[in-house]
Amino acid sequence: MQNLNKDIKEHTFKPIYLLFGEEAFLKNSYKNRLKEAILGEDTMNYARFEGKGLDVDELIRLADTMPFFAEQRLILVEDSGFFKSASEALVKYLPDMPKTTCLVFVESEVDKRNKLYKKVKSLGYAAEMGRQDGTQLGKWAGGILAKEGKKITKSTMEYFLGMAGDDMENIRMELEKLITFTWGRDVITNTDVDAISTVRVTNRIFDMVGAIVNRQTKKAMDLYEDLLALKEPPMRILFLIARQFNLILQVKELAEQGMERGMIASKLKMQPFVAGKVMGQARSFSRDQILSYVNWCVELEEAVKTGQLLDRLAVELLLTKKDGNVPTV
């Protein structure tokens, strides 16, 4: 991501950017930074498209339009699905796109064999934003605390991350609570971490996935209500459940290749004890079952984004799923 930071700092922008990967916090952060650097407060030359099935002709027409009293026009495209199933028209168009247009894709699903991916990489910049390991998260969190005049030991930072998990947005929110709680003091202790940390959302998601698979509908719904009470948005809960099923699938596939816990933890950039817990879940059901839930999560998310379902109902449908087949939304 050094090239991305350099472009933003020097205001020398490529015509196309692709931000993709599992770490939503980083994607949102860089998306907003690019928008601010390119447009500032200009709203006249900004357009946003979201979801599958968007009108490619409309996108191209807008990209061909000269900016209004400005140097550049910015078009943001999110979760289009173009990097799983490429639009031939878009692939052919990009080399001829006006230099006054900057196109930014933010995607959850990307196939690096995809024609559009290869075209974007050749013409612009593709940045994969995966989950960060413990060392990277520690440096990032430590930097935030240092800016607020706070000090924290390595062992307390590890303890904090053990409580907060590896989701950067969750870590950021926990850091805000920690900074507020220790107002007037500069040293953060394990006691402070204990005081501000609620039961980890990721732990509840882990338990919820187990309840879903074991047909423990009441337990799953109780956990869901707990998360709602903690002000967790339903779409974030759905995303975290989907991510957990994807993680279980990856772990299962690696375990079937003969990898042990330590190797799996290193491969997927997670703590060994977390890898062990996920391996236990992976042994509980078949690959087809996992794929069924992954597909169901994708369909439900799409149904919410297209207005077919309310977000809260979508999660409830997932929690009460009765069989291994993906129902029609």
What whole-number distance in Å separates Cα of residue 133 and Cα of residue 274?
Answer: 13
Burial class (CB in 10 A: 0-12, 13-18, 19+), 204: buried
Domain ranges for the chain: 2-128, 134-196, 201-319
**What's the pLDDT score for residue 327?**
44
DSSP sequence for 36-72: HHHHTT--TTEEEEESTT--HHHHHHHHTSPPSSSS-
What whole-number distance in Å separates Cα of residue 147 and Cα of residue 144?
Answer: 5
Question: For domain 134-196, which CATH number applies: 3.40.50.150, 3.40.50.720, 3.40.50.1970, 1.10.8.60?
Answer: 1.10.8.60
**What's the pLDDT score for residue 228?**
83
What whole-number distance in Å separates Cα of residue 88 and Cα of residue 115?
Answer: 8
In this structure, is the dihedral angle defined by the CA atoms of residues 212, 214, 217 and 223, taken in order, positive or negative?
negative
Residues 75 and 104 sit within 8 Å (Cβ to Cβ): yes
Burial class (CB in 10 A: 0-12, 13-18, 19+), 188: buried
Q: Where are the alpha helices (DSSP H) in the chain?
A: 2-10, 24-39, 56-63, 88-93, 115-123, 134-147, 154-164, 168-181, 190-196, 201-213, 217-229, 234-256, 261-268, 272-282, 287-305, 311-319
Tens-digit pLDDT profile for the chain (329 aa)?
Answer: 788 999 999 999 999 999 999 888 999 999 999 999 999 999 999 999 998 888 999 999 999 999 999 999 999 999 998 998 878 999 999 999 999 999 999 998 899 999 999 999 999 999 999 888 889 999 999 999 999 999 999 999 998 988 887 889 889 988 988 998 899 999 999 999 887 765 456 678 888 888 887 788 999 999 898 888 766 789 888 988 998 899 999 999 999 998 988 888 888 877 777 788 888 888 887 888 888 888 889 899 889 988 898 999 999 998 887 554 444 44
In what helix (H) or strand (E) does residue 107 lie, and over which residues does it extend?
Answer: strand 101-107
Instruction: Domain 201-319: give its CATH code.
Output: 1.20.272.10
Which CATH architecture fits 2-128?
Answer: 3-Layer(aba) Sandwich (3.40)
What whole-number distance in Å separates Cα of residue 237 and Cα of residue 244?
Answer: 11
Three-class SS of residue 105?
A: strand
CA dihedral 152, 158, 159, 160 (to 10 degrees): 70
Counting Cα atoms < 13 Å in the Cβ hemisphere of 241 gives 33
Three-class SS of residue 230?
A: coil
What whole-number distance in Å separates Cα of residue 304 and Cα of residue 313?
Answer: 9
In what helix (H) or strand (E) does residue 188 lie, and over which residues does it extend?
Answer: strand 187-188
Residues 93 and 15 sit within 8 Å (Cβ to Cβ): no
Model's pTM, two decimal places?
0.61
